[in-house]
Amino acid sequence: VMKPGEAEVVPNLAIDPFDKVFLGDPYAYHDMIREAGPVVWLDSVGAFAMARYEEVKDSLRDHETFCSSRGVGTLDFAKETPFRPPSLLLEADPPLHDRTRSMMNRIVSLKALKELRPRWQAKAEELVDRLVERRRFDAVKDLSEIFPMMIFPDTIGLRDDGREHLLDYATIVFNAFGPDNDVLREGNEGKEAAIEWVAEACKRDNLKEGGWGMAVFEAADRGECTHEEAERLVRSFLSAGVDTTVNGIGHMVLALAGHPEEYQKLRSNPSLVRRAFEESLRWDSTVQTFFRTTTKRVEVGGAEIPEGQKVLLFLAAANRDPLHWDEPDAFRIERNTSGHVGFGFGIHQCLGQMVARLEGELIGTAIAERVASIRLTGAPVRRLNNTLHAIDSVPVEVEPA
Ligand code: OVV
């Protein structure tokens, strides 16, 4: 335990992690933050930050000190009201969180995914067949933004009309974890209708029988949660389930197109596909950051963080920390990626990770079986977001196998 005055001075970095240059290409900035120390202060956000693997992981593990119920963005819910009622999973602490999470874990089960797999596989194969026939396509517009939308809304049992609002809604939700900046204003412009659509789509009357959405209401019928909570839990599926996998798949294809030798390893050994997806998540993590809020004074790496402080955790930087990873900036699909924090860590670790992995596996396999080589035909275009490393366009040409 440290005595007052014993704490080391925390480096104060004049970097705005939510400005356009940083968000567009964050990795050199991550190096600076990691190298500055285990904990830094960012004036631009008025928050502490950690970017090293060990401290990020320790903070995620210690959910009592680094809580989520005060929000996992810049906003402190103890002081200000968020734009939507807090998520009962992401923005909750135990015991509430554990009750809702156990419920949802029973719905997003291995058994459920095993049943869905054949249908999802057929759709992945159909889609990739069509694209390979075309030879030239956009791996985002024609593939990564299409595939999750072919399977996920049906899995939830969403109404058919208005599904195009899902990506807009995710943009708004993930921008909202950052400050009210240009990226948020420009990114959210014209997308406001998505908020109302999602609120309606989560209601029992608008959900189809047999989907994961209705399964949440059936759990409510059994007394596992209230019907108001059920609506908000369905909202979590819609918030977290689309843009994350869209960009996860987009990044995998981008990484493979940019590393032909790695793609050839996958071609000659398609059983590497799950590793390839995992490595692409480590190498270019879709969810770049989340905040926590301290519930008490805490010491981290010789630095003192007072109670009630926002702490920005750079998941994507932890995934490239040279203190933990061998040649972290190299994309190598045969690497052991276990322990990466692209899905987070601890009690909040991604509920949908098995869904994401299955989507990545099915698309990766469909490509590896049909495509001899992938070539970028133009510069990839990023889509800036306060939380997601997102991609708008990856023009490619493929050579059929
Ligand atoms: C992981 C995540 C991101 C965005 C929203 C939610 C979860 C939610 O639970 O609403």
Ligand 1 centroid to Cα of residue 220, in Å, is: 20
Of 318, 257, 258, the C-alpha closest to 288 is 318
Reading the chain (401 residues) residue by residue, the pLDDT tens digits are 455 555 567 999 999 999 999 999 999 999 999 999 999 999 999 999 999 999 999 999 999 999 999 999 999 999 999 999 999 999 999 999 999 999 999 999 999 999 999 999 999 999 999 999 999 999 999 999 999 999 999 999 999 999 999 999 999 999 999 999 999 999 999 999 999 999 999 999 999 999 999 999 999 999 999 999 999 999 999 999 999 999 999 999 999 999 999 999 999 999 999 999 999 999 999 999 999 999 999 999 999 999 999 999 999 999 999 999 999 999 999 999 999 999 999 999 999 999 999 999 999 999 999 999 999 999 999 999 999 999 999 999 999 99
pLDDT tens digits along 145-164: 999 999 999 999 999 999 99
- The reported pTM is 0.97
Of 314, 343, 238, the C-alpha closest to 48 is 314
**Peptide bond before residue 148 is cis, with ω within 30 degrees of 0:** no
Which atom from ligand 1 is nearest to the alpha carbon of 89? 9
Ligand 1 centroid to Cα of residue 321, in Å, is: 25
With a 6 Å cutoff on the Cβ, whether 173 touches ligand 1 is: yes
Q: Which of 87, 289, 385 to mutate to test the pocket of ligand 1 (most atoms within 8 A of CB)?
A: 87
Q: Dihedral through CA 157, CA 161, CA 164, CA 166, nearest 10?
A: -40
Q: What are phi and psi of 206, to 5 degrees?
A: -100, 5
Q: Which of 169, 173, 195, 313 to mutate to test the pocket of ligand 1 (most atoms within 8 A of CB)?
A: 173
With a 6 Å cutoff on the Cβ, whether 88 touches ligand 1 is: no
List, in sequence order, every residue forming a beta bridge with 289; answer none if it has no partner.
314
